[in-house]
Amino acid sequence: MKLRHIILAVATVLGFAAGIFSVAAQPSTLRSLGVTISPATNSSVSSTPVYVPDVSRENQPLPDSVIAWNSITQTADATADQDFAKFTFDFTNTIDKPVTILNVHTSCGCTTAELPPVPWTIPAGSNGTIKVSVNLAGKSGIVFKSVAVTTDQGRKDLLLRINIQPPVVVNMTDEQRAAALAAAKVDRQAVFKGDCATCHIKNIEGKMGQALYESVCGICHEAEHRATMVPDLAKLTVPTSEEFWRTWITIGKPGTLMPAFATSQGGPLTDMQIASLAAYLNLVHPSQVPVPMTTK
């Protein structure tokens, strides 16, 4: 949208020089260009009408009596493995003249708005729809996003709330558990393969930190019915550090059920994902015992 402002500024200068410009429409832009405005000097000749968006009200609230929305705050529920949350904002121009949408800004790169090209003019009495989609990769818990709609009649902030459910706890039957254990004892990397992968490394692409921990580590380490050999990571009795976490995640422990997660070891996680986990774990589970000074 920066480009728009540049184009606008250029158009302003050209328009002003040609004397076809309505000064009243662009006071803020002119002021920012250091031009002093004398109200009497405008528009005598006009050949080709140039579309000039009226941005004079971009910082004022857009009254609901001008544009009526189906709702300006919307909530959606999402499951932990859902990729996108989608919203539809319907509106009606309720005044007797056109309203022009000048631009739509979202609060983050993960949120995209779908609408006709701007400036989008909505005739008097007509309806329109803005569809919004939020990419949920790496997100968990309650997420708030907003979309700012700027029109020539003022600006409206649309608010989104997404409740992301915690990952579903899948319980295995005793037989399944016994079979899984047997498979893992033969090959600790079995969890990343075939059927096992559908639960153990579900939807990990693009996930980082806490959300990734919940999917790939929590399934074993946070499980209520986990086997006794799976330790509680919050209560480790050895000194821990970011390096400690990184090493464990990268190579696991041969001869146990703790798999190696690094791609270099045949695991599913990128170096960046492993780094994000190590940083997250070091933060939430600081070492319970003093880390010894390295003396050699």
Tell me: does residue 183 bind ligand HEC (CB under 6 A).
yes
Per-residue x/- track, 260-289, ligand HEC (CB under 6 A): -x---------------x---x--------
| CA distance from start to end of the chain | 58
Tell me: does residue 177 bind ligand HEC (CB under 6 A).
yes
Dig out the tokens for 48 from the structure: 């080709």
CB of 58 to ligand HEC, least distance (A): 47
Alpha-carbon span 44 to 21, nearest angstrom: 9
Residue 169 in contact with residue 224, Cβ under 8 Å? Answer: yes
Tell me: does residue 226 bind ligand HEC (CB under 6 A).
yes
Window contacting ligand HEC (CB under 6 A); options: 104-112, 137-145, 203-211, 226-234: 226-234
Tell me: does residue 223 bind ligand HEC (CB under 6 A).
yes
What is the per-residue DSSP string for 14-55?
HHHHHT---GGG-HHHHHHTTPPP-GGG--S--SSPPP----
Alpha carbon distances (Å) from 175 to 7, 258, 268: 68, 21, 26
Restricting to residues 19-38, name those near ligand HEC by CB under 6 A: none
CB of 54 to ligand HEC, least distance (A): 55
- In 3-state terms, the chain is what percent helix, strand and coil (to 5)? 35, 25, 45
Tell me: does residue 220 bind ligand HEC (CB under 6 A).
yes
**Run of H or E including 279:** helix 271-284
Tell me: does residue 170 bind ligand HEC (CB under 6 A).
yes
Window contacting ligand HEC (CB under 6 A); options: 25-33, 58-66, 109-117, 167-175: 167-175
The helix/strand count (H/E) of the chain reads as: 8, 9
Tell me: does residue 148 bind ligand HEC (CB under 6 A).
no
Residue 153 in contact with residue 62, Cβ under 8 Å? Answer: yes
Q: Which of 23, 184, 204, 260 binds ligand HEC (CB under 6 A)?
A: 184
Tell me: does residue 196 bind ligand HEC (CB under 6 A).
yes
Alpha-carbon span 219 to 124, nearest angstrom: 55
- Applying CB under 6 A, the site for ligand HEC has a residue count of 40
> Residue 25 CA to chain centroid, in angstroms?
36
CB of 237 to ligand HEC, least distance (A): 8
In terms of CB distance, is 83 or 195 closer to ligand HEC?
A: 195
Tell me: does residue 211 bind ligand HEC (CB under 6 A).
no
Q: Which of 136, 219, 260, 262 binds ligand HEC (CB under 6 A)?
A: 219
In terms of CB distance, is 4 or 221 closer to ligand HEC?
A: 221
| Other CB atoms within 10 Å distance of the CB of residue 267 | 22
**77 Rama sector, left if φ>0, alpha if ψ -120 to 50, beta otherwise:** beta
Tell me: does residue 256 bind ligand HEC (CB under 6 A).
yes
Contacts with ligand HEC, residue ranges (CB under 6 A): 170-172, 177, 180-181, 183-184, 190-191, 195-196, 198-200, 216-217, 219-221, 223, 225-227, 229-231, 233, 236, 238, 248-249, 253, 256-259, 261, 277, 281
